[in-house]
A = this chain, B = another copy of it.
Amino acid sequence: MSVDDLVEGVLNRRRRDLARLISLIEDEESSALDVLSRLYKHTGRAHIVGVTGPPGSGKSSLVTRLTAEFRSREKTIGVVCVDPSSPFTGGALLGDRIRMQEHSLDDEVFVRSMGTRGHLGGLARATSDAVRAIDAFGKDIIFVETVGAGQSEVEVIDIAHTVVVTDVPGSGDDIQAIKAGIMEIADIFVVNKKDLPGAEKKATEITTMLDLDTRERTWRPPVLLTNSRSGEGIPELADTILKHHQHLVDSGEMKKRGLQKSKDELRELMKFKLTQELLQKLQGRPEYEKAIERIASREEDPYSVAERLIAEFLFKESR
């Protein structure tokens, strides 16, 4: 399938072409970049909502409920489920995915799971590109759901405009967890399973912690109680998500973040392309192979060799 066909397919909202493009992204095919490059001007319209929190805090059922809620408000939905915990765990999301089936016949809902192929940096990059593809496809709201158990998730969730952090009553460790890092990334806290004992207490604990946060901020993360089984609190959560989006736009924060994101992405792409270009020039040259051997035998150090090769090959070639 040609780049032209794929671009046209995604812009004409053919689901199979969107799925194909995301597979190319996962496989790190260079044609994916060509397609994304041409889709780029059709992006930037979706509201990206990250949902993270400890395992068992009901992220998937919350996303399923929110999908239903936003569908009733005529919004179209994309869902990207990311599981960076492979290869040591993995597979745990499968059961959760089944619940999402209620939306599987709804053409306005596009769901995609992403595991870890390649290494970690690759996952954040692939997720970001997949979200961009879904954005170009025209979905209004895109959920990025990830297990909140490590720093890799923070990188993945970084692409969201609005970050919802879920938690459940009980398990004293959670407070420890929240202290450590979630506070800084959360825009909305959700205590799910509000029917369980201790839900109010947990919400109070989070509120107390927020009181201790003296940083100046224009948005104070609200703490909501939900029950994704009964649906209680879901409409309020949907309202709050939209309210946060409006706040980002009104405060100028959305524009500021857009600039920062463009800067970061440009830097990453330049890094990628530069390396590619240099390696192409070095590949197969005896000087390059020799340098590697000399590093391995400690005759030279890699830091000096890196500088020399860059100077010799990249710049010399371009003269």
Instruction: Give the B-binding residues of A (Cβ under 8 A).
Output: 33, 36-38, 40-41, 43-44, 54, 84-91, 116, 119-121, 148-155, 173, 176-177, 180-182, 255, 258-259, 261-263, 265-267, 269-275, 277-279, 291-293, 295-296, 298-299, 301-307, 309-310, 314-315, 318-319
For this chain, the copies found in one complex come to: 2
Measured in the bound complex, the distance between the Cα atoms of B177 and A89 in whole Å is: 5
Instruction: Report if A298-B181 is in contact (Cβ < 8 Å); known contacts: A305-B266, A306-B266.
Output: no
Chain B contacts of A90 at CB under 8 A?
Answer: 180-181
B149 lies within 8 A of A149 (CB):
yes
Nearest-neighbor residue (CB-CB) of A183 within chain B: B87
Nearest-neighbor residue (CB-CB) of A282 within chain B: B270
Within the complex, the shortest CB–CB distance from A43 to chain B, in Å, comes to: 7
Measured in the bound complex, the distance between the Cα atoms of B317 and A319 in whole Å is: 10
* Residue from B36, B267, B305 within 8 A of A279 (CB atoms): B267
* Residue from B119, B180, B261, B273 within 8 A of A296 (CB atoms): B261
Within the complex, the shortest CB–CB distance from A172 to chain B, in Å, comes to: 13
Nearest-neighbor residue (CB-CB) of A178 within chain B: B88
Within the complex, the shortest CB–CB distance from A199 to chain B, in Å, comes to: 21
* Residue from B37, B258, B296 within 8 A of A259 (CB atoms): B296
